[in-house]
Structure 1
Amino acid sequence: MLALRGAVLAAFTSASAEDGPAIPYVAPDVTGLHFVETFDADVWSRWKHSTAEKYNGKFEVTTRTPEALLGDVALKVSEAARHYGTAAKFEPIAVQQKGAFAVQFEARFEDGLSCGGSYIKLFDSEGRPSDAFDSDTRYVVMFGPDKCGGTNKVHFIFQHKNPVTGKWEEKHLQTPPSVPMDRRTHLYGLFIRSDNSFEVHVDGEKKASGSLLKDMQPPVNPPKEIDDPSDQKPSNWVDEAKIDDPDASKPDDWDEDAPFQIPDPSASMPSGWLEDELAKIPDPKSQRPADWDDEEDGEWEAPIIDNPKCSVGCGKWEAPRINNPNYKGKWYAPKIDNPAYIGEWKPRQIDNPEYFVDENPYMLPTIDSVGIDIWTMDKGIMFDNIVVDSNPEKVIAFGQATFKVRSDIEAKQDKSASGQGMFSKALDTVLENPVPVLVTVLALLVGSFLLCCRGGAGSPAQPVTEGEPTPQRKKLSEYKKARSDSPSRKRDDAQADSAEASDGPAAAQPAESEEKKEEGGLAATLAQED
């Protein structure tokens, strides 16, 4: 069934692509840039997969689907629910005094992004080969999209060395921008300048900015004083500013059990209210249809209607409820100032032994490698056009020259593919529920045939009042019951119960059929774009 769906969609996509706006790929001009990776030519002579055991996923170099620039390739996550690790070296770059730093790359989620990262790490290899790169490799900058559960951000993290202790600490952007959730290519840029300012761009637009000295958490420079870890609050310290008044007592007439609402004592049963009558009765005007068969259609019952005698009301009358004027609720003693209150206790301050001041955190240490270390529950994540340089303006210009062309084409492809998304959704519904769909179609055909036959009979049709259980309604209810009892429906329910009961690692991995269901689905596409 999945193969059939794929074949139909492939034919439809191919037909649509013939009229698409794609243009041939032309390799960009990289003159004057420190490092650029377009993933052209012999990629695996430059990039090496990590040899660490945890990395069970292997990147591929392939074209996009659909293509905007015909023949352009990128680095692609080929399988879901795997760890991926790869790295490449370049000539070392270090931010000198009055210098700057820029990194930029493109990322695309061809199959959407439900849980996974698509960030890169820039680090100093310290002479180690690229295949030694793994999650424990200390990076200088980590930058790019990450989404899973409550996390939805474009990371900007850099590691800073404390000159007193020699320890490296991560400094996180406090207010990172969110990740675009459509399936187009997006451009991510980070630009750091010599005044310690930084900017995070998405698609060439500034989405976050700030100062390395003020807008990172924890701060680059630690506090001059810290709490004395040996200082403890005295046992007789009183830090409660208010206490219950010890002289107060609950008043004698305070009833804590009085209800919040009571029946209105001033209300009386309206004239004409019939307590002995039912509000609903069988319709006395309804008659058993002449062609009703108890064995086939069940015991006939007249439809239920409102009792015409109940113009005022029927049944047991109850007075409307009003707020109880005697309600007071639970009694609490009033609060008074605590005569023993000393104040809020704080430990005494001492000089921070790890204190230092770095006025130039923009001067990043040496970087000579770029790596991708991600875990993802989605396939189809693509990386392209990674740029590292000391001139932010040149990097921004490169992005304008490469990304904008692709972005404009993908926007046009999205519009032309809107009909394909609706077709894919309808096809998914039919192919994933073949038995119910077939039974529904047959039931509609049979029902139409029977109605036509009855409409042409010699005897006039028996009038049916609203709510009367006709034979067609009876047969429809039998069909629904048969559908719910069908082996395929029970098997689906059992699989759902099994998936909910599972809490092992396998539960986190989407089944292949679920991945196929999600592909091309209009609902999934709209959810990602929103």
Structure 2
Amino acid sequence: MKWALLLATLAVAVSAEVYLKETFTDSWADRWHKSKWKQSDGQAGEFKLTAGKWYGDAEADKGIQTGPDSKFFSTYAELEKTFDNTGKDTVLQFSVKHEQDIDCGGGYIKLVPASSAKDMDNFGGDTPYSIMFGPDICGYATKKVHVILTYKGKNHLIKKDLKAESDQLTHVYTLVIKPDNTYQVYIDLKEIASGSLFEDWDMLPPKQIKDPKAKKPEDWDEREEIADPAEKKPDGWDDIPATIPDKDAKKPEDWDDEEDGTWEAPMIPNPEYKGEWKPKMIKNPAYKGIWVAPDIDNPEYKHDDTLYNFKDLKYAGFELWQVKSGSIFDNIMVTDDFETAKAFAEETWGKFKDAEKAMMEKVKKAEEDSKPKEEPPAAAGGEEAAPEEEDDEYEDKEEASSTGTVKIPVEESDDGHDEL
């Protein structure tokens, strides 16, 4: 039995095909092409090879980093051969480290079809692509993972809200699309989403729609309550005035009827006035609910089992805008086997992630320790300031929040960088 499992595993490994495996060595620029997009107007940034300020291994963790701030970034590479995923899994994986504590910018990758070859010299936001995948962060409101699929020339964003990682460590993003039209999304090899391409995207029109020809019947009663027909207004109800003269009021002593006119007592609310009479409300025995048009089969709907299918995946590229630059991209893989991608992530990110975290904590501590200490303010006359009084053991104390004294801005309705 063990031999059978081993042979099955080996068979899967042998059958797996890798279309792109990029670890960004010193020769990376021979494989990756800088787009001319935004260069003429000076808005194009650069990518440089670096492991950053913290890493697990100085060489193995080298990737390409964006810079300077407030620029557009665009670079791409060809797959080893065109990927036709007919009947195959599609696995897209890469890592990104937002070392700069990103405030607003994209961190996603695109797979681009061979049909866009003529546009690749100016690979940018308008270049047709097949798959867009990865994190997008902007302020407090937008911290999501994009999964955008192109179907019949139109880009469709996943309907689920997938939260992206926004710390300053390296994270691995993996997308798997299967020929049975299902998918999985992983962050750091942990599944965060899965489901159906039919249900989680609106690539196809709905199977059913409301009948546009249907009309509400004339006798359809949508009133949930009605006035009780048995209720009758009491006799004399309308004869009670809303206000009456104040019987306790007295004519002022200096009132002159000839000069001031006939004195009348001021009006006050009548305590016996009950307001406008209204009958009691009861449930409507004829109530049928709110009328809704019946569903009918949508004549525009046509089932398609090839939502997953991309026949000519040719390029992988980054096309980004970042306000605060410094993201490092690394360890890209395009394959038709998840286990192959998983093993690659474990051998790269998984092997060095703990050391990277330890180094980041060490660097941040050193930066904090190097900050100049604030001197206590001097008292009047040049005397030293009096020491602060110690807190009373039983006095109520106010604990500092995790955000300190930072004033959190009101969230704006920013949808990030969806390129639909």
TM-score (norm 1): 0.54
Gaps of 5+ in 1: 1-30, 162-166, 257-327, 431-436, 453-499, 501-530
Judged with a 3 Å threshold, the aligned counterparts in structure 2 of structure 1 residues 351 and 205 are, in CA distance, closer, same or farther, namely closer
Aligned pair partner of 2:99 in 96, 106, 110: 110
* One-letter code aligned to 2:174: G
Post-superposition shift, 1:101? 1.0
Q: Distance in 2 between matches of 1:83 and 1:205?
A: 31
**Residue of 134, 138, 156 corresponding to 1:170:** 156
Aligned partner of 1:354: which letter? E
Structure 1 residues 77 and 241: CA distance shift in structure 2, 3 A: same
Distance across 1 between alignment mates of 2:155 and 2:325: 32
1:386-401 alignment runs, 5 A limit: 386-401=332-347
Contact 2:44–2:73 under 8 Å retained in 1: yes
Shift of 1:334: 4.7
Q: 1:354: how far off? A: 2.1
In structure 1, the partner of 2:396 is none
**Corresponding residue for 2:49?**
62
Deviation of 1:143 after TM superposition, in Å, equals 0.8
C-alpha separation in 1, matches of 2:93 and 2:359 = 24
Alignment of 1:222-261 (within 5 A): 222-229=205-212, 238-243=221-226, 247=231
SS of the residue corresponding to residue 383 of structure 2 reads helix
By percentage of residues, which structure has more helix?
1
Taking the TM superposition and a 5 Å limit, the aligned residue runs for 1:329-408 are: 334-338=280-284, 341=287, 343-408=289-354
> In the alignment, does 2:348 pair up with 1:443?
no
How much has 1:338 moved relative to structure 2?
4.1
* Aligned: 1:179 with 2:164: yes
Quote the offset at 1:138 in angstroms. 2.5
Report deviation, 1:245: 5.2
Of 131, 136, 145, which aligns to 2:121?
131
Q: Which residue of 1 aligns with 2:6?
A: none
Q: What per-residue deviation string (whole Å, max 9, x for no partner) do you get for residues 40-65 of structure 1?
A: 23434433333334881312223111
Q: Equivalent residue for 1:40?
A: 25
Aligned position for 2:189: 204
Change (3 A) 1:337 1:103: same
Contact 1:87–1:369 (8 Å) recurs in 2: yes
User: Residue type of the partner of 1:224?
Assistant: K
Q: Mapping of 1:19-98 within 5 angstroms?
A: 33-53=18-38, 56-63=43-50, 64-71=52-59, 72-90=61-79, 91-97=81-87
Answer yes or no: is the 8 Å Cα contact 2:185–2:192 preserved in 1. yes
Identity, % of aligned positions: 30
Secondary structure of the residue that 2:76 maps to in structure 1? strand
Q: Report the alpha carbon displacement of residue 221 of structure 1 after superposing the two structures with TM.
A: 4.0
SS in 1 for 2:130: strand
The alignment partner of 2:348 has SS state of helix
How much does 1:92 deviate?
A: 1.0
- 1:137 offset after TM fit, Å? 2.2
Residues 236/203 of structure 1: CA separation in 2 closer, same or farther (3 Å cut): same
Kindly report the root-mean-square deviation, in angstroms, between the aligned alpha carbons of the 2 structures: 3.7
> Can you give the 5+ residue segments of structure 2 that lack an aligned partner in the other structure?
1-15, 243-273, 388-408, 410-420
* CA positional deviation for 1:142: 1.2
Between 1 and 2, higher relative CO (CA 8 Å, sep ≥ 6) is seen in 2
Query: Separation in 2 of the partners of 1:248 and 1:387?
Result: 80
Indicate conservation of the 8 Å contact 2:233/2:277, yes or no. Answer: no
The 8 Å contact of residues 188 and 202 in structure 1, kept in 2 or not, is answered as yes
Q: Partners in 1 of 2:35 and 2:279 — Cα distance? A: 68
Structure 1 counterpart of 2:10: none
* Pair 1:213 & 2:198 matched: yes
Shift of the 372–245 alpha-carbon distance from structure 1 to 2, 3 Å rule, reads farther
Cross-structure match for 1:319: none
CA distance 1:61–1:362, change in 2 (3 Å): same
- In the alignment, residue 60 of structure 1 is paired with which amino acid? F
**Displacement, 1:399?**
0.9
Say whether the 8 Å CA contact 2:54–2:360 is kept in structure 1: no
